[in-house]
Amino acid sequence: MKNSRIFLSAFAACLTGCALAGVDSVNSFFQVSRHSVPAGGEVEVRIVLRDDENKPVTAAKVEVKTSSAAVQVVSAGIPDAEGVCVAKLKCGSAADVDIAVVADGAEVLENLLPNPSFELGSGRIPGYVSTYAHSYDNSAFLWAETGFRSARSLESYAFNPLKSTYWSFVAIRGGNLLHDRRYDISIYAKYDHIAGEYGVTMQTHQTDAADNAIRGSNRYHGRRTGSSGWVRLSVESPVKIMEKAHALHAAGVILAAAGHVQFDAARIRVIPTVRWGQPEASVKVDRPDRCRMFDISFAPALKLTADEYDRLLADMQKALPDSAALKPFIESQTLYHQWLGSGKLAPAEAFAKRLEILKRIEELKEVRKNAADQELENLL
């Protein structure tokens, strides 16, 4: 492990000041065929090269470097029309090996996620999101036709600072989760008008075989409010897997806050990349086409005044796309805020006001559901 740290530090140092020459480190990545392999076994490294617009790079000098002199590297060759080339590695003895790729001076790291910047596919949101679906209670997940270093990203509008909105982009379960490795996880976020207790963050946690969260595994990485251009949210140090863990999860979160966020360029890599001298095994992301959205109540988190909340809703309404499903959503959130304010009324008046609000919100839920279903049907 010490040699791995020395290798990675030296590798990062040698890249400082290198010209990128068209290959972009954020958009490019590699994947290995196996993360554990018997001594003498072969590992295939599939390298995907992209420029800063996430377009294939078809002409680049590619080098595969490893942290062990015992590893034999077969030349990766020249990228094809899709910017893809393949290298093969062999090692005759037991060894923990970190792999790094240099393409025209740019560092290229492993990424287990197959579509980290949402560029592939059409119609429904591809990659980690199975539908255009709305989380009716708190938020909407939509396409954004702009990204960090790409043409697309995933965006969400969250309206209720009492609740949280989660985008689950990593789930590694059961035999696909190797306990003898650490996991480096990151994502880029851009956000506007984030107001609330915590803000935009990246969450990681581990669950047991019964899918219950393991105590002490929950971590929030970066809690940001206000507005900002693209920033990288990452784990402070690679995640170690706990003894009872059955699954590892990571999510982009608007935590107990309201506002607008875009997520892009998600990444998860394994450290060390490959262990020779062990039974064959691979780390695989479970159901990478799935996006989970759910809300968690944070009643004590509301620290906005009525005027601040009204201004936030007004700003969000201006920013929203022309969506039949989202217009009644804005109205219901405004009504919900009136519900909170009705607690200041006399008991009889408060009861009448809340009854009126509940009736209208129920009507709006049906309107939103029908409109969202129609939008989804149109997209598909």
Report the distance separating Cα 44 and Cα 34, nearest Å. Answer: 8
Reference 262, options 158, 191, 160, 196; nearest CA is 191
Condensed to tens digits (0 to 9), the pLDDT of residues 319-351 reads: 555 555 556 655 655 665 565 555 555 656 655
At residue 316 the predicted structure's pLDDT band, cuts being 50, 70 and 90, is low
Condensed to tens digits (0 to 9), the pLDDT of residues 193-214 reads: 888 778 899 999 999 999 898 9
User: Cβ distance 268 to 31 under 8 Å?
Assistant: no
Position 307: which residue type? D
* pTM of the predicted protein model: 0.71
Ranking 9-13, 25-29, 240-244, 295-299 by mean pLDDT, the lowest is 295-299
Task: Name the residue with higher pLDDT: 24 or 128.
Answer: 24
Give the model's pLDDT for residue 269. Answer: 96
Task: Name the residue with higher pLDDT: 360 or 300.
Answer: 360
3-state helix, strand, coil in the chain (%, to 5): 20, 35, 40
Task: Name the residue with higher pLDDT: 19 or 186.
Answer: 186
At residue 295 the predicted structure's pLDDT band, cuts being 50, 70 and 90, is very low
Q: What is the DSSP string of 53-73?
A: TSPBP-S--EEEEES-TTEEE
Condensed to tens digits (0 to 9), the pLDDT of residues 140-185 reads: 456 677 889 888 787 777 766 667 777 777 889 899 999 999 999 9
Percent of the chain with pLDDT over 70: 62
- List alpha helices for 213-325, DSSP H: 306-319
Report the distance separating Cα 333 and Cα 13, nearest Å. Answer: 50
Tally of CB atoms within 10 A around 182: 16
Report the distance separating Cα 154 and Cα 169, nearest Å. Answer: 11
Report the distance separating Cα 192 and Cα 175, nearest Å. Answer: 39
Q: Inform me whether the pLDDT recorded for 64 exceeds 80.
A: yes
The structure tokens listed for 51 are: 């420029």
